[in-house]
Amino acid sequence: MTRQMTGAKMVVQALKDQGVDTVFGYPGGAVLPIYDEIFQQNDIRHILVRHEQGAVHAAEGYARSTGKVGVALVTSGPGATNAVTGLTDALLDSIPIVVLTGQVPTFMIGSDAFQEADTVGITRPCTKHNWLAKDTDTLAETLHQAFHVAQSGRPGPVLVDIPKDVQFANGTYTAPEKSDTTIYQPETKGDITAINELVEAMEKAERPVFYTGGGVINSGPKASALLRELVEATGIPITSTLMGLGAYPASGENWLGMLGMHGLYEANMAMHDCDLMINIGARFDDRITGLISAFSPNSIKAHIDIDPSSINKVIKADIPIVGDVESVLTDILKVWKARGRTVNRDAIANWQSQISDWRKVECLKYVQEGKIIKPQYALSRLEALTKEHDRYITTEVGQHQMWAAQYLGFEDPNRWMTSGGLGTMGYGFPASIGAQVAHPDSLVINVAGEASWLMNMQEMGTAIQFRLPVKQFILNNERLGMVRQWQELLHGERYSHSWSEALPDFVKLAEAFGAKGIICSDPDDLDDAIMEMITYDGPVIFDCLVEKHENCFPMIPSGKPHNEMLLGEASTQGVIQAGGAVMV
Amino acid sequence: MAALKIKKGSTSHSAYNLRPNFSDEVETHTLAVLVDNEPGVLARVIGLFAGRGYNIESLTVAEVDHTGHLSRITVVTTGTPQVIEQIKAQLGRIVPVHAVHDLTVEGASVERELALFKVSGTGDKRVEALRLADIFRANAVDSTLESFVFELTGTPGKIDAFADLMRPLGLVEVARTGVAALSRGSE
Ligand SMILES: Cc1ncc(C[n+]2csc(CCOP(=O)(O)OP(=O)(O)O)c2C)c(N)n1
Ligand SMILES: [Mg+2]
């Protein structure tokens, strides 16, 4: 059956056929035909954001919290350029999103027309793939291919740029099942010889560790379930990157906590001293490895990744396995069970007791005394009072983000949304909106810094308009805290422009938008205030005034190996030497 | 990607050929990249090299299969073995890339480049230029009383050598196509 329709109608039809229920967007001249179609239907809900960056981050929050593809719709020129940060963010964190941009009509492309930008040119390096749809007859197939590419293999952002005349013209609609997706078919099954080799290494290892990442989450809930089964059955300790939190439960017996620059002492020490490192869906990011030449010097490294370019990019893999985490873990379990479920029990027991000794360092210990709230205390209380809830957490970027990763526990995948690879201040608030749209009855909290939060605060309008009861939990230190910390450690305490001057009164700001504002500065009031935030049926801005000069520890200074972590304020002066100083 | 046994869509079935070689020695490799001939595909490939800081020594591109809309991009690049492997894996990730062949490691291959040389001069120099062109089997494709344009096909090394010889004899301009390469044998 062939169906004739306009390009604009095709866009809406393709979204429906792809199972899309929500689009985050902002209209403009070059997408008016599509907005006209959106107006005339009720299957797809359009969430009007207040800035296109917000639309893309909201789509990311939606995608990350559901496992589905997030969709954003923006106009040409400034609409498209405003989407660039979100696209780059999604590329670095492998988040599947489809961004649709309007474009000037084909016959005006190249003429510097009003609101013309070379969108495919600008977004080529920050998308997994992009298309300029020049012909209405092939538009539907392109849209279906876009969804296919976004979610197949290593997920990522894609963009389809649709000129206005293509939206107006009539053409033939192609259904998803008639569209050619052979253009992109990544292999998902891991090489069985390498898997056997890994299982053999697991059987012999004396000090093994699982190092897991966002790839486990991207692979789907089944992958997390298999990971849990493998960890429980083998007793091998497990750590995770920032992006992978929740794949293995924080309450799990073998959980070491997050690793990396601000990771836990026991996790980083285990990485440094292990004899077998099993990387599952992580990419040896520089926040994880520290000084490469001193990274886990005595271990055999297995690396499971769906993207061959991740393997041997940074760290040489002794046992490389290219494949989807779910498929590879299925095979590992199968082989390991068939070979008799062997592990080196005695050695692993010793390893675990070594790890318990490291745990005794209590690297996250802090002292809450006096009348000033420590940020760590605020997060511990937030954790205690919300962990039983059906909860989704997003964050902004900075110290608060690292503290959230350290002090909040994640029991399930898809519950934690943070900007890891790009480190985008302004991500958390719109991402919380996306997560709340997807989970209207859940408790969605954005753990924010005051400076990051201001970067996309306009989205308060969106939260109010769509009755999204997102909780903005701002750890207000009146500082660009993470910047200040680096200036303290690296630049002789010269605090160049790392203050948050002229901050708004957040309570009044909330009220100005019609939301609830709560301010809390006394540790004794904190529990009640958090309860008030949770029970309020609507968006809340929570201004939590915290200690202004708290530093985030543990910290592996740039250019240092894992076993040279800083644990506290003592002797932090001059710790980052010239070699590390050039690194970010 | 045949070299890595990586199928289109960029993942390998066998990870064995991903075993690393982390030597520091810089090597020169000739890569043949088969791509859909669609707008922007060359920009994707070049953008990858520029964005990730890889070298391009030579680049040629043309449609090789009219009905299948396939183009062949031949890139000569340099890097350590690890960088070369990264380049191939990164190329393999590009959606319209069908295959990446590393002609330098996939058995013997032939490489040819075409160049045009404008040489101007009179008297002995002119005679000598013509004599050397004959030795190199370069054709004179244009001549005036004071100049020749020679056409020469050969390996990049042969073209370099001819250019060196022509320089003192009045070389005015050179145009080179960049390398085209194919593996030897029946496949
Ligand atoms: C868009 C953007 N600009 C600049 C930075 C650099 N940066 C990283 S953390 C930070 C300070 C964040 O301050 P705040 O949100 O108050 O968080 P805090 O560290 O105080 O918890 C800055 C400026 C960034 N990550 N993103
Ligand atoms: Mg701050």
Q: Which domain holds residue A445?
A: 375-545
* Distances in whole angstroms, Cα of residue A518 to Cα of each of A276, A374, A476, A541: 49, 17, 12, 6
Note whether B65 and B116 are same-domain residues: no
Task: Report the pLDDT value the prediction gives residue A560, as an integer from 0 to 100.
Answer: 87
* pLDDT over threshold 50, residue A500: yes
Q: What backbone phi and psi angles, to 5 degrees, belong to A87? A: -60, -45
Phi-psi region of A449 (alpha: psi -120 to 50; beta: other; left: phi over 0): beta
Judge whether A166 and A7 are in contact, CB under 8 Å: yes
Q: Which of A60-69, A355-364, A573-582 has the lowest mean pLDDT?
A: A573-582
Q: Which of A204, A267, A266, A200 is nearest to A240 (CA)?
A: A267
Task: Report the pLDDT value the prediction gives residue B138, as an integer from 0 to 100.
Answer: 98
How close is the nearest chain A Cα to the Cα of B66, in Å?
18
A114 assigned to active site: yes
**Chain A residues touching residue B91 (CB < 8 angstroms):** none
Query: For ligand 1, atom 1, which residue shows the shortest CA distance?
Result: A425
Note whether B71 and B117 are same-domain residues: no
Residue of A nearest to B52 (CA): A125
The Cα A261–Cα A562 span in angstroms is: 8
Task: Report the pLDDT value the prediction gives residue A562, as an integer from 0 to 100.
Answer: 86
Task: Report the pLDDT value the prediction gives residue A558, as an integer from 0 to 100.
Answer: 81
Q: pLDDT tens across B4-34, in order?
A: 333 333 333 344 455 556 678 999 999 999 9
Note whether A328 and A381 are same-domain residues: no
The Cα A72–Cα A55 span in angstroms is: 6
> CATH no. for residue B156?
3.30.70.1150
Whether A572 maps to a domain, the answer reads no
Whether A73 maps to a domain, the answer reads yes
Q: pLDDT tens across A61-108, in order?
A: 999 999 999 999 999 999 999 999 999 999 999 999 999 999 999 999
Could you tell me if the CB of A425 is within 6 A of ligand 1?
yes
Whether B157 maps to a domain, the answer reads yes
Task: Report the pLDDT value the prediction gives residue B16, as an integer from 0 to 100.
Answer: 46
Q: For chain A, what percent of residues have pLDDT higher than 70?
A: 97
Task: Give the DSSP H/E element, type plus range, for residue A407.
Answer: helix A399-407
Task: Report the pLDDT value the prediction gives residue A563, as an integer from 0 to 100.
Answer: 86
Whether A563 maps to a domain, the answer reads no
Note whether A163 and A86 are same-domain residues: yes
Residues 6+ apart with CB under 8 A from B170: B119, B120, B121, B125, B126, B129, B147
Count up the domains in chain B and report the number.
2
| Average pLDDT value for residue range A33-47 | 98
Judge whether B182 and B175 are in contact, CB under 8 Å: no
Could you tell me if the CB of A273 is within 6 A of ligand 1?
no
Q: pLDDT tens across A535-566, in order?
A: 999 999 999 999 999 999 999 988 888 888 99
Query: Could you tell me how many CB contacts below 8 A there are between chain A and chain B?
Result: 94
> CATH no. for residue A424?
3.40.50.970
A271 assigned to active site: no
Q: Could you write out the DSSP letters of every residue in A159-172?
A: EEEEEHHHHHSEEE
Whether B12 maps to a domain, the answer reads no
Mean pLDDT of chain A: 96
Residue B82, judged by CB atoms within 10 A of its CB (0-12, 13-18, 19+), counts as middle
* Distances in whole angstroms, Cα of residue A341 to Cα of each of A201, A210, A332, A336: 13, 17, 11, 5
Whether B120 maps to a domain, the answer reads yes
Note whether A127 and A14 are same-domain residues: yes
Last residue of a domain, which of B70, B86, B102? B102
Last residue of a domain, which of B102, B125, B159? B102
Q: Which residues of chain B have pLDDT under 70?
A: 1-22
Note whether A208 and A318 are same-domain residues: yes
Last residue of a domain, which of B102, B124, B159? B102
Note whether B31 and B98 are same-domain residues: yes
Whether B178 maps to a domain, the answer reads yes
- State the distance from the centre of ligand 1 to the C-alpha of A291, rounded, in angstroms: 24
- State the distance from the centre of ligand 2 to the C-alpha of A228, rounded, in angstroms: 36
Note whether A160 and A282 are same-domain residues: no
Could you tell me if the CB of A400 is within 6 A of ligand 1?
yes
Tell me the two tokens of residue A509. Answer: 């700001």
Q: Which domain holds residue B87?
A: 27-102
Whether A577 maps to a domain, the answer reads no
- For chain B, the maximum distance between any two Cα atoms, rounded to a whole number of angstroms, is 65
Task: Report the pLDDT value the prediction gives residue A559, as an integer from 0 to 100.
Answer: 82
* Distances in whole angstroms, Cα of residue A179 to Cα of each of A85, A145, A176, A519: 30, 7, 5, 54
Note whether B84 and B127 are same-domain residues: no
Task: Give the DSSP H/E element, type plus range, for residue A325.
Answer: helix A325-338
Residues 6+ apart with CB under 8 A from A492: none
> CATH no. for residue A350?
3.40.50.1220
CB contact under 8 A, B9 and A121: no
Q: pLDDT tens across A387-403, in order?
A: 999 999 999 999 999 99
Task: Report the pLDDT value the prediction gives residue A2, as an integer from 0 to 100.
Answer: 67
How close is the nearest chain B Cα to the Cα of A73, in Å?
23
Q: For chain A, what percent of residues have pLDDT higher than 90?
A: 95
Whether B93 maps to a domain, the answer reads yes
Whether A221 maps to a domain, the answer reads yes
Whether B16 maps to a domain, the answer reads no
Note whether B115 and B177 are same-domain residues: yes
Whether A582 maps to a domain, the answer reads no
Could you tell me if the CB of A399 is within 6 A of ligand 1?
yes
Task: Give the DSSP H/E element, type plus range, for residue A337.
Answer: helix A325-338
- State the distance from the centre of ligand 2 to the C-alpha of A481, rounded, in angstroms: 5
Whether A27 maps to a domain, the answer reads yes
Tell me the two tokens of residue A408. Answer: 């909040």
Note whether B93 and B36 are same-domain residues: yes
Count up the domains in chain A and report the number.
3
Whether B113 maps to a domain, the answer reads yes
* pLDDT over threshold 90, residue A421: yes
Q: pLDDT tens across A475-490, in order?
A: 999 999 999 999 999 8
Note whether A382 and A521 are same-domain residues: yes
Q: Could you write out the DSSP letters of every residue in A94-128?
A: T--EEEEEEE--GGGTTTT-TT---HHHHHGGGSS
> CATH no. for residue B31?
3.30.70.260
A482 assigned to active site: yes
* Distances in whole angstroms, Cα of residue A111 to Cα of each of A38, A136, A161, A439: 29, 21, 17, 44
- Across the interface, of B8, B14, B92, the residue whose CB is closest to A191 is B14
